[in-house]
Every structure is written in structure tokens, then in C-alpha cells.
Amino acid sequence: MNSVRSDALEPTAKELAGASLREKAMRLMPVYGLPLLMLALILLFSILLPDTFPTMLNLRSIIADKAIIALLSLAAMIPMVSGKIDLTVGYGIVLWHILAISLQVNYGVSWPVAVLVVVVISAFVGLLNGMLVEIARIDSFIATLGTGTVLYALALWHTGGEQVVGVLPRGFLALNATRIAHLPITGFYVLALAFVLWFVLEHLPIGRYLYAIGANPKSAALNGIPVQRYTIGAFVASGLLTGVAGVLLASKLRIGQASVGLEYLLPALVGAFLGSTTIKPGRVNVWGTIVGVAILAVGIAGIQQFGGSFWVEPMFNGVTLLIAIGIAGYAQRRRGAAKLRPKSAQS
């Protein structure tokens, strides 16, 4: 059972060739609408908030705040390519950031070994998720919700509801605190990872296989694609990326606490879902996901600078998710109607 379909809806050059200017605009709007909206928001907030919004300080703040969400969105995106969903990106980061600190503070493990242990365990949890979905045949939403809840319970048990605090090595803190060209290094992590994922998904066979599985797993299997192996691999990659995000969160916060992490789940999923409505509408894709996270970051930053209350961010995330789903559904209906027109004309 597919939890998420992966089926591109972007118009082809042939489809646009005989279209009027209005029809071309309507067909291209789902492709470039969100990037244009993001630029419009940046321009609007820059005009309305000239002293605070168009500044290097604000840019650094946005990157520092949203880089981890961007990593989690990319982690959630990978199983979505194969038509599945992974909710452990929000639950897992709770345990992983606690474990990264606890291994160093409570057990005297060096920070490189602690990072390696966290990443390996998180990849193993991804493997477990993949096996639950593909071998035990449990729907991915249910399977990862169950796994994620167990991880959260382990985080609560490990901390006993208290903070994990201690002196952390400079090398570990530098993973998040370093700046390149006056910008947080975490933004460069996101760009590098996005480029790698884009290249893999768009230019290597593994990417075509995953998209084929997401579009129609039965047809993919009939064409000789090892569906089970690639789907499990997608969950492993998602788990590994979540572990990396947990390490960076630990380096950023410098304390471990079970009350931190779950708030990343909704914006991470919103970024991935929103990404499926742009660049390649109807198909989850890397640059669409980056645009999705960016528009969330810009919108929330601008609203908060206007004096928005603490509830603004979850409200904005929830409304944006509903809009993203609505746009995706609208694009799908238009594509379906376009396919039916020639048949109706022939009859």
C-alpha cells in the first residue's frame, strides 16, 4: 500500500507548444508559483521592515533556525520518492540529540565516536522501518508512527525527564557554530546534501527506480526493479539523515532534553509536502523541498518581526500544509482533465 504517490505533473514542451499565453501561465503556475511567491514575500517584508528583514543578521538567523528543519525535510522526502512516509524524522531527532550528548558527558566517549554511534544506530532504525513496511507489510504511516513513539519513550526513559548537561568538546560544538563567509555552516551542509540528493535522484538509475516505485510499485516490480530493496534503502537513508540532524541539533543546543525535537516534525513534513507542489508539481523533489522550507522560513520570520505571537509558527505551518495539499490536488485534477480531453474529442 502506497502512502504517498510520486507522479510528476510538470507540463512538457509538447503540451505547451499549442497552448495560449493564458493556458501556458496556468500550466506553469504550479511549477514556478511557490518560488515567485517566496521572492514576493522577501520583497514585501523588505519594504515593510527595512531595518530588520533585509539584513545579514536576519539571514543568519533564518539559516541557523531552519537548517535542521531543511535536513529533516530532505530526510522525509527520500521515502516519499518511493511512495512511503517516515514519521520517525520528528521522533528520532529527540533521542539522537540526547544520545549524542549523553555518550560524551555520561560515558566519556570522544565526540567523533559519539557521532558515528548515533548515525549508525539511526540508520539501523531506518532499516527496521523499511523491514516493517516491506517485509511485515505494515503501512508506512503506522509503522513509523509506532517506531517513532518507541524512540520518544526511550528518550524519556534515558533522561528520566531531566536535562543532559555537561562540558562538550570544541570540535563537537564547531559542527554547528562555524561560519563560512559570515553565514552558519549548517546552511552549507543543507546545500551540499541537496545537491547530492538531486544528482542521485535525477541523474542516476537509483533515482529513476525510486520514482518508478513511487508511481507504481507493481509496474516497477514487473520491469525488474527490486522494489523491496530500494524501498528499505530509502528508509535507511532517511534514518541516517535524521541521525545527522540530531547530531547538529545537539551541537546547537549543547544540552539534551526530551521536550525538544517533536516540534520539528510538522514543519519537516510541511516542507517535503510543499516541495511536491513546485518545480516538479505532483512529485516530491529536492529543490522543491528546499523552496518549501525557505518559504516557511521567510513567512514565519516576517510575521514574527511584525510582532506575531508564539502560536503564529504552528498556525502558519498547518495552514501552509493544507494549502500545499490543495494545490497538489488541483494540479492533479487539471492534469487528469487534460488527458481526458483528446479522448472526448475523438469520440
Which tens digit of pLDDT belongs to each residue from 282-318?
788 999 999 989 988 998 888 888 877 777 778 877 8
Read off φ and ψ for residue 138, nearest 5 degrees.
-95, 135
What pLDDT shows up at residue 53?
92
What pLDDT shows up at residue 98?
96
What average pLDDT does the segment 147-164 reach?
A: 93
What pLDDT shows up at residue 328?
59
CB neighbour burial string for 170-208, b if at least 16 within 10 angstroms, e if fewer: eebeebbeeeeeeebbbbbbbeebbeebbebbeeeeebe
Q: Please say if the pLDDT value at position 88 is more than 90.
A: yes
pLDDT class of 13 with cuts at 50, 70, 90: low
pLDDT class of 34 with cuts at 50, 70, 90: confident
- What distance in Å separates the CA atoms of residue 296 and residue 70, rounded to the nearest whole number? 10
What pLDDT shows up at residue 324?
66
pLDDT, tens digit (0-9, with 9 covering 90-100), for 247-272: 999 999 999 999 888 889 988 988 88
pLDDT class of 345 with cuts at 50, 70, 90: very low
What average pLDDT does the segment 63-77 reach?
A: 94
Percent of the chain with pLDDT over 70: 84
pLDDT class of 86 with cuts at 50, 70, 90: very high
Lowest mean pLDDT among 219-223, 286-290, 319-323: 319-323
Residues 6+ apart with CB under 8 A from 306: 48, 49
pLDDT class of 344 with cuts at 50, 70, 90: very low
- What distance in Å separates the CA atoms of residue 311 and residue 269, rounded to the nearest whole number? 18
pLDDT class of 10 with cuts at 50, 70, 90: low
User: Alpha-carbon Rg of the chain, whole angstroms?
Assistant: 21
pLDDT, tens digit (0-9, with 9 covering 90-100), for 126-151: 999 999 999 999 999 999 999 999 99
Cell 558515528 found at: 116
pLDDT, tens digit (0-9, with 9 covering 90-100), for 95-111: 999 999 999 999 999 99
Read off φ and ψ for residue 6, nearest 5 degrees.
-125, 100
